């Protein structure tokens, strides 16, 4: 059975439910991609999340939610005495802002056991991680993860790196550039956000970003630029793929995460990068038209299963 493995942090999400009440949910960039990948990949694919959680009730609820979504938790370690991270979301005119409580998140321990990490990566056909995954880890743990990813790439796995950059996650660390380039050397597919790249590397264009990651060894690069669409680069080619216009913009949470799921699902099926980007754009358009990070998808997208 082919396996899609996403690596990172799933958090407890608190969102406004009206009347002064909050609604509890679970989300996080790479988990969101796994959740959508489960909806989009053929049924014979296994979708697994690799992370760490605590042994508290919230962690138990989180694991139960993952399982109910069809995402395997076999690679999630339970850390005694730990708890998951938490964030509160606010949305204004479709744009979201966050308040985080994640300094002691159990997910920061996801690479503490190299044997556990390497064992699960060895069983995966597609592996997805992000700049947030790197940011929550210590520099030593980040190097452990990247080393394991190098081994998985040599074995033939598709390694996807979404360069999601959140300054607060890096807590003033100055090694984001170096870690991004190290991660890129392990990746075969890179999904940079134009804003993220400019925040980490300074002013740059999509073409300059693609050149940087081609030199690192990536084969396919899709530079995301929100409503402007994406620029897709592959060996010998480049195309601009316009964004799909959503029916309405309710909440832009997980737009990039869902694009990644659609893009990778089609690449894994053997589709060309332009078709994959077009499908990713269609998925993202449905997602931003609904509230929250995890939005049910229409049957029109299931034709690609």
- Residues marked active site are found at 257
Is beta strand 76-78 parallel, antiparallel or unpaired with respect to 46-53?
parallel
């Amino acid at each position: 059975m082919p396996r899609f493995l996403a690596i990172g942090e799933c958090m407890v999400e608190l969102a406004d439910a009206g009347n002064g009440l909050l609604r509890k949910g679970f989300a996080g960039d790479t988990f969101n991609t796994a959740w959508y990948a489960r909806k989009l990949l053929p049924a014979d694919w296994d979708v697994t999340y690799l992370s760490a959680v605590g042994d508290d009730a919230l962690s138990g609820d989180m694991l139960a939610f993952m399982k109910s979504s069809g995402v395997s938790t076999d690679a999630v370690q339970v850390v005694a005495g730990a708890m998951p991270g938490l964030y509160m979301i606010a949305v204004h005119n479709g744009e979201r802002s966050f308040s985080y409580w994640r300094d002691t998140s159990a997910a920061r321990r996801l690479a503490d056991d190299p044997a556990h990490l390497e064992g699960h990566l060895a069983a995966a056909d597609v592996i997805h991680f992000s700049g947030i995954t790197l940011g929550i880890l210590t520099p030593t743990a980040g190097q452990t993860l990247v080393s394991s990813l190098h081994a998985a790439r040599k074995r033939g796995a598709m390694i996807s790196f979404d360069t999601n950059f959140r300054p607060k996650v890096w807590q003033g660390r100055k090694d984001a550039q170096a870690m991004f380039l190290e991660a890129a050397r392990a990746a075969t597919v890179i999904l940079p956000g134009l804003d993220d790249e400019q925040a980490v590397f300074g002013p740059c264009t999509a073409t300059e970003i693609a050149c940087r990651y081609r030199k690192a060894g990536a084969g396919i690069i899709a530079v995301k630029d929100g409503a402007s669409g994406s620029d897709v680069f592959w060996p010998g080619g480049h195309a601009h793929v316009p964004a799909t216009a959503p029916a309405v913009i309710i909440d832009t949470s997980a737009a990039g995460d869902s694009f990644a799921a659609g893009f990778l699902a089609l690449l894994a099926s053997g589709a060309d990068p332009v078709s994959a980007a077009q499908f990713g754009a269609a998925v993202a358009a449905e997602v931003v038209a609904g509230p929250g990070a995890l939005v049910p998808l229409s049957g029109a997208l299931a034709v690609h299963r």
